[in-house]
Amino acid sequence: MTSLERTLVIVKPDGYRRGLTGEVLRRIEAKGYTLAALAVQTPDRARLAQHYAEHEGKPFYEPLLDFMSSGPATFAIVEGHRCIEGFRALAGATDPTAALPGTIRGDLGRDWGEKVQANIVHGSDAPESAEREIAIWF
């Protein structure tokens, strides 16, 4: 028996602007995961810097903070056994051009020629990062 997990999902500002919040949440619910908390807010740079600390110094870091603070985003705590791995499978690869059809990024995302990939969703990558990220935003 695996333990009940939680993950932080963000429908990023590109997904929010394009009206894809409902489509992303629909896929999470259709998969069978539970929405434990939901909030719409424009991410502030201070909390984004904490959230994305592992990427500080990379060429896409400043563009990433600009992009993520560019407007409202939807934050969700998602629950379910193995939901961290499961949501990342639903999301698809980081690069939306390479992300497979059938995934959120593969079906709904594309390259817009920017320094940062606008790829619609974030999902935590491990139990420790999920708890760390949930504590930042909720």
Report in angstroms how near the CB of residue 19 gets to ligand IDP at its nearest. 19
- Is 81 annotated as catalytic? no
Burial bucket for residue 88 (CB in 10 Å: 0-12, 13-18, 19+): middle
Report in angstroms how near the CB of residue 30 gets to ligand IDP at its nearest. 21
E strand segments, 14-71? 34-41
For residues 126 and 114, what is the distance between their CA atoms, to the nearest angstrom?
A: 28
- Among candidates 70, 64, 61, which has minimal Cα distance to 42? 70
Kindly name the residue from 51, 55, 81, 122 that is annotated as catalytic: 122
Report in angstroms how near the CB of residue 64 gets to ligand IDP at its nearest. 5
Nearest residue (CB) to ligand IDP, 21 versus 117: 117
Residue 110 assigned ligand-binding role: no
Annotated binding site for ATP: 12, 60, 88, 94, 105, 119
Q: Which residues are catalytic?
A: 122
